[in-house]
C-alpha cells in the first residue's frame, strides 16, 4: 500500500488526506495545533463549483450542504465608474451543469427565495459560503473515522511522531505560505507584496438579500460582501495596510461609522459580530510546486489576492489533481516516482492563469487613474451586453480559467 505524509491540517490538508485515503493510500496527517485550535478560527470561505465537485467526489457534499449558505446572485460593482454587472444562475453554462450531473443534487443546493428580474432559476447556486468551524468539524470527523488515516495533532504528537519516510513515500506540504516543508526542501518562492492589506469581519447589515454576494471594486481595493445566512455577512475589505491598522484600533461604533462610509448607501451595517482582523496580502508562487517525493498544495504552493475568493478553491483544485494522479499510481498506470513531475506540469497552467487573472483585476480596478476609466467602463458594458461573455467569466471564476479551453 502506498503511503503519504501530509503536513498541515487546515481545510486543504485535511481534504488532501481524505482524497489520498479514498484512492487506497495510507496517510499520516501532522499538525502542531490540536483539534480545538484547528476548529477555533473565525472566518468564512466562498466555495465555487470546482470545490463542490471535489466535496461530492469525497462523499462530503450531502453532510456539508445543510451547513452552507448558497448565494444565487453576485453583484459586481465598479464604484470608480458607477458600472455594475449582475451574475446569476442563468449565467451558469450548460457545460457547468453537465459537469455537476454526477454530483447528485448540487444544482438544487440553493433554495432561491427571490423573484423578479435578475433572480436565478430555482436551485441554481452561483456559489456557497462555509463557516470554518462546521467545515473543519466535518473534516476531522471523517479523518477520525477513516481506517487509512492516522492523525498526529498537537505539538507533542507532531514532534514525538515525526514522519519516517521510506523510498516511494509521498510528502504533501499543506502547511501554509511560510511552509517549513517547502523551505526545508529548498524550493523557490517568488513573491510580490501588494500595497494593500485585507481586513475580515462579520457584521449584521440591512439592504442585501440573504442569498446575494457582492464584489465592490473600489479605488482603494476590492471589497467582498458574503452572505452567512439571515442578515449576517462576512466582509473582506482591501485597503492600505495603514488604513486597516487604524480601523482595527477603533471601537465598535466608530468602526461601523467608517464601514458605512465605505459601503454603498443601500448596505447599512448595524452590529459587529466579531473582532476586525487585518492581514497582509501578496502574490506568491513556489516553483517548482513538486520535486522528488514532495508535492505542495494550497498556500504552500501559491498565494493570490482574495478578490473573487479564488485562493481556497485554487488549493482544492490542487487536491483534485493530486487525487487523480494518486489513483493512477494505485491502479498501476503511473510510476510513484513520476507523480511529482506529472503534478507539476498539470497544475502549472491553472496556477499561473488564476494568479495572473486576480493580479490584473486588482491592478485594473484598484486605482484612480483617469486613463483606465474608459477601459473599465468598456469591460463592464461588454459583460452587461454579452451573455456569452458573462458565462465565460463566471465559468472562469467557478471552475478555473483553464476549463475555458478544456471543454
pLDDT at 265 over 70: yes
Domain count within the chain: 1
State residue 366 phi and psi, 5-degree precision.
-95, 65
* 276 assigned to some structural domain: no
Query: In this predicted structure, what is the pLDDT of residue 156?
Result: 77
Domain of 365 in residue numbering reads as 3-191+281-394+399-403
Query: In this predicted structure, what is the pLDDT of residue 158?
Result: 59
Q: What is the bridge-based pairing of β-strands 294-296 and 170-173?
A: parallel
pLDDT digits (tens, 9 = 90+) for 3-53: 999 999 999 999 999 999 999 999 999 999 999 999 998 889 999 999 999
Neighbours of 60 (CB within 10 A): 18
pLDDT at 369 over 80: yes
Number of Cα atoms under 13 Å in the Cβ half of residue 222: 23
* 110 assigned to some structural domain: yes
Query: In this predicted structure, what is the pLDDT of residue 43?
Result: 87
Concatenated DSSP letters of 174-219: -S-TT-HHHHHHT-EEEEEEEEEEEEEEEEEEESS-TTEEEEEEET
Give CA–CA dist 145/191, Å, rounded.
38
Does residue 111 sit in helix, strand or coil?
coil
pLDDT digits (tens, 9 = 90+) for 65-93: 999 999 999 999 999 999 999 999 889 86
C-alpha cell of residue 290: 513538486
* 235 assigned to some structural domain: no
Residue with cell 487523480: 324
pLDDT at 113 over 70: no
Q: What is the mean pLDDT of residues 206-219?
A: 95
Helices (H), 306-406: 311-330, 339-365, 373-385, 387-399, 403-406
pLDDT digits (tens, 9 = 90+) for 274-296: 999 999 999 999 999 999 999 99
Q: List residues bridging with 127 in a β-sheet.
A: 71
pLDDT digits (tens, 9 = 90+) for 125-160: 999 999 999 999 999 999 999 999 999 999 877 555
Q: Residue 230: which residues within 8 A CB-CB, separation 6 or more?
A: 210
Query: In this predicted structure, what is the pLDDT of residue 157?
Result: 73
* 345 assigned to some structural domain: yes
* 43 assigned to some structural domain: yes
C-alpha cell of residue 61: 457534499
* 226 assigned to some structural domain: no
> Of the given ranges (7-21, 90-104, 190-204), which has the lowest mean pLDDT?
90-104
Please tell me the pTM assigned to this model: 0.91
Query: In this predicted structure, what is the pLDDT of residue 162?
Result: 56
Q: List residues bridging with 193 in a β-sheet.
A: 282
Burial class (CB within 10 angstroms; exposed 0-12, middle 13-18, buried 19+) of 17: buried
* 122 assigned to some structural domain: yes
Task: Indicate which CATH number applies to the domain containing 61.
Answer: 3.50.50.60
Q: What is the mean pLDDT of residues 264-269?
A: 95
Confidence label for 116 from pLDDT (cuts 50, 70 and 90): very low
Give CA–CA dist 48/120, Å, rounded.
16
* 263 assigned to some structural domain: no
Give CA–CA dist 402/214, Å, rounded.
24
Helices (H), 4-60: 11-22, 35-39, 49-57
Give CA–CA dist 399/129, Å, rounded.
16
Amino acid at each position: 500500500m502506498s503511503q503519504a505524509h501530509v503536513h498541515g491540517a487546515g481545510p486543504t490538508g485535511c481534504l488532501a488526506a481524505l482524497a489520498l485515503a479514498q484512492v487506497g493510500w495510507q496517510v499520516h496527517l501532522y499538525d502542531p495545533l490540536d483539534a480545538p485550535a484547528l476548529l477555533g478560527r473565525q472566518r468564512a470561505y466562498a466555495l465555487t463549483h470546482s470545490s463542490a465537485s471535489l466535496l461530492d467526489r469525497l462523499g462530503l457534499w450531502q453532510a456539508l450542504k445543510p451547513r452552507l449558505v448558497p448565494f444565487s446572485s453576485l453583484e459586481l460593482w465598479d464604484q470608480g465608474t458607477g458600472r455594475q454587472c449582475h451574475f446569476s444562475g442563468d449565467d451558469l453554462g450548460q457545460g457547468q451543469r453537465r459537469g455537476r450531473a454526477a454530483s447528485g443534487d448540487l444544482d438544487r443546493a440553493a433554495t432561491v427565495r427571490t423573484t423578479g428580474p435578475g433572480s436565478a432559476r430555482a436551485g441554481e447556486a452561483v456559489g456557497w459560503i462555509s463557516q470554518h468551524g462546521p467545515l473543519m468539524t466535518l473534516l476531522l470527523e471523517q479523518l477520525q473515522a477513516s481506517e487509512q488515516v492516522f492523525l498526529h495533532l498537537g505539538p507533542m504528537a507532531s514532534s514525538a511522531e515525526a514522519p519516517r519516510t521510506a523510498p516511494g513515500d509521498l510528502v504533501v506540504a499543506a502547511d501554509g505560505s511560510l511552509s517549513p516543508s517547502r523551505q526545508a526542501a529548498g524550493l523557490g518562492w517568488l513573491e510580490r507584496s501588494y500595497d494593500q492589506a485585507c481586513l475580515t469581519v462579520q457584521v449584521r447589515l440591512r439592504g442585501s438579500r440573504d442569498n446575494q454576494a457582492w464584489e465592490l471594486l473600489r479605488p482603494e481595493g476590492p471589497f467582498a460582501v458574503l452572505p452567512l445566512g439571515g442578515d449576517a455577512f462576512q466582509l473582506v475589505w482591501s485597503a492600505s495596510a495603514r488604513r486597516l491598522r487604524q480601523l482595527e484600533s477603533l471601537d465598535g461604533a466608530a468602526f461601523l461609522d467608517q464601514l458605512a462610509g465605505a459601503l454603498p448607501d443601500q448596505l447599512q451595517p448595524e452590529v459587529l459580530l466579531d473582532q476586525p482582523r487585518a492581514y497582509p496580502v501578496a502574490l506568491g508562487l513556489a516553483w517548482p510546486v513538486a520535486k522528488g517525493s514532495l508535492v505542495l498544495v494550497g498556500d504552500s504552493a501559491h498565494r493570490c489576492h482574495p478578490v473573487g475568493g479564488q485562493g481556497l478553491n485554487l488549493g482544492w483544485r490542487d487536491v483534485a489533481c493530486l487525487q487523480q494522479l494518486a489513483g493512477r499510481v494505485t491502479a498501476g498506470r503511473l510510476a510513484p516516482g513520476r507523480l511529482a513531475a506529472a503534478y507539476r506540469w498539470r497544475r502549472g497552467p491553472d496556477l499561473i492563469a488564476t494568479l495572473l487573472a486576480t493580479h490584473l483585476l486588482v491592478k485594473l480596478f484598484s486605482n484612480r487613474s483617469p486613463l483606465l476609466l474608459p477601459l473599465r467602463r468598456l469591460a463592464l458594458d461588454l459583460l452587461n451586453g454579452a451573455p456569452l461573455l458573462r458565462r465565460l467569466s463566471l465559468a472562469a471564476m467557478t471552475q478555473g480559467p483553464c476549463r475555458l479551453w478544456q471543454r
